[in-house]
């Protein structure tokens, strides 16, 4: 089986993974949105990764989705709302036994992807690393973090897993990936929407800790109801720790809104509210928060799903 890492989406996280894998001598190919993006990339001659203030250039080969050749391993690095349609376009190229690694934050997009490619193995990832695009094809590695990977349907560690440590990508295989994703989703639901609604950095929420605590109580009830009691443990304490540790930062949702970009609300707060409704669980504060956020996004002309 080919050991090439095909990377779908050369945005912040996709470029960060691509550059580190390429630097370690792994075979990497980027899959860009269309021929126009491919031409722009080829004119730039590669990706630039800025790390510890130093820029390095990587001439990683790239192709468009319609290129020929089978794909055995695909790192899906699109936003959650783009992942399923982007993967669907590649379905005819996925080889027998292909494996997908899904980097999307939140929950819901992983199942949407799996529905498109029922015969492939879908590995879910939860990342706390931070990267952002300074320009087209130029990404800054902004925050050290960690990556947990796992497959809810199959505990076996993939053969290629050592590629990650060899590339300096901090990662661990876990059989509890859904717990990790739910915990991060709960943290994001307790922090990110409030930073948008109160127009503040994370530390601004120290003035709204009562509101945060009420949301954490409801989120913990949801986690327990949907079979994730571990993800509910000491949620409020961890949320407060994260608020303090990231006090000077703006949440990812705040930054998306400030830059006029679509948010991933559908896969974060939206997913939490839909799951609560499916379980017949009334969470009035979370539902009200969702409605306020939707209203605020619509008032700014941004998609609210």
- For ligand NAD, the binding residues (CB under 6 A) are 8-14, 31-33, 77-80, 82, 86, 103-105, 127, 129-131, 133, 264
Which residues are registered as beta bridge partners of 139? 49, 133
Q: Is 184 a catalytic residue?
A: yes
Residue 185 engages ligand KPL in binding (rule: CB under 6 A): no
Alpha helices, H only, the chain: 12-23, 35-44, 80-90, 109-116, 162-166, 177-197, 209-225, 229-232, 235-245, 252-258, 269-278, 284-299
Residue 82: name its binding partner from ligand KPL, ligand NAD, none (Cβ under 5 to 8 Å by kind): ligand NAD
Cα–Cα distances (Å) from 111 to 107, 153, 239, 241, 267, in that order, read 8, 12, 27, 31, 11
Record the tokens describing residue 85, joined without a space: 């349609």
Residue 192 engages ligand KPL in binding (rule: CB under 6 A): yes
Q: Give the residue from 114, 124, 111 showing the smallest Cα distance to 94.
A: 114
Residue 263 engages ligand KPL in binding (rule: CB under 6 A): no
Record the tokens describing residue 65, joined without a space: 């989705």
What is the pattern of x (binds ligand KPL, CB under 6 A) and - over residues 138-177?
Answer: ----------------------------------------
Question: 116 vs 126, which CB is nearer to ligand KPL?
Answer: 126
- State the burial class of residue 167 (Cβ atoms within 10 Å of its Cβ: 0-12, 13-18, 19+): buried
Binding ligand KPL (rule: CB under 6 A), the pick from 102, 191, 223, 297 is 191
Residue 78: name its binding partner from ligand KPL, ligand NAD, none (Cβ under 5 to 8 Å by kind): ligand NAD
Spatial distance between the Cα atoms of 177 and 196, rounded to a whole number of angstroms: 28
Q: Which of the stretches 34-42, 112-120, 158-166, 184-192 binds ligand KPL when contact is defined by CB under 6 A?
A: 184-192
What is the pattern of x (binds ligand KPL, CB under 6 A) and - over residues 267-296?
Answer: ------------------------------
Please, which residues have CB within 8 angstroms of residue 23's CB and are 6 or more apart in sequence? 56, 58, 167, 168
Residue 252 engages ligand KPL in binding (rule: CB under 6 A): yes
Radius of gyration of the chain (CA): 19
Binding ligand KPL (rule: CB under 6 A), the pick from 126, 251, 263, 304 is 251
Spatial distance between the Cα atoms of 48 and 64, rounded to a whole number of angstroms: 20
48-87 positions binding ligand KPL, by CB under 6 A? none
DSSP letter for 265, please.
G
Of 20, 72, 183, 184, which one is the catalytic site residue? Answer: 184
Q: How far is the CB of 192 from ligand KPL (least distance, A)?
A: 5
Residue 126: name its binding partner from ligand KPL, ligand NAD, none (Cβ under 5 to 8 Å by kind): none
Q: How far apart are the first and last CA of the chain?
A: 39
Judged by the rule CB under 6 A, the positions of this chain that interact with ligand KPL are: 187-188, 191-192, 242, 246, 251-252
């Amino acid at each position: 089986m080919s050991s090439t890492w095909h990377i779908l989406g050369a945005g912040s996280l996709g470029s960060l993974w691509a550059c580190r894998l390429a630097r370690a001598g792994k075979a990497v190919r980027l899959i860009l949105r269309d021929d126009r993006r491919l031409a722009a990339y080829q004119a730039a001659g590669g990706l630039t990764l800025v790390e510890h203030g130093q820029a390095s250039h990587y001439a990683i080969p790239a192709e468009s989705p319609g290129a020929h050749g089978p794909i055995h391993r695909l790192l899906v690095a699109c936003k959650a709302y783009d992942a399923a349609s982007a993967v669907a376009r590649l379905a005819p190229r996925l080889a027998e036994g292909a494996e997908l690694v899904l980097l999307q934050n939140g929950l819901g997009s992983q199942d949407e992807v799996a529905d498109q490619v029922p015969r492939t193995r879908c590995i879910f990832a939860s990342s706390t690393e931070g990267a952002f695009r300074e320009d087209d094809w130029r990404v800054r590695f902004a925050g050290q973090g960690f990556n947990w990977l796992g497959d809810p349907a199959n505990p076996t560690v993939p053969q290629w897993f050592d590629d990650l440590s060899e590339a300096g990508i901090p990662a661990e295989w876990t059989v509890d990936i859904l717990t990790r994703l739910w915990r991060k989703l709960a943290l994001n639901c307790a922090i990110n929407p409030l930073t948008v609604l109160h127009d503040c950095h994370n530390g601004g929420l120290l003035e709204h800790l009562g509101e945060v605590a009420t949301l954490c109580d409801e989120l913990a009830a949801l986690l327990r109801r949907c079979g994730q009691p571990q993800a509910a443990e000491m949620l409020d304490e961890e949320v407060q720790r994260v608020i303090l540790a990231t006090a000077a930062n703006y949440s990812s949702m705040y930054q998306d809104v400030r830059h006029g970009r679509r948010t991933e609300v559908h896969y974060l707060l939206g997913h939490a509210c839909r799951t609560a409704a499916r379980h017949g669980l009334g969470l009035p504060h979370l539902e009200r928060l969702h409605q306020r956020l939707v209203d605020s996004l619509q008032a700014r002309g941004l998609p609210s799903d």
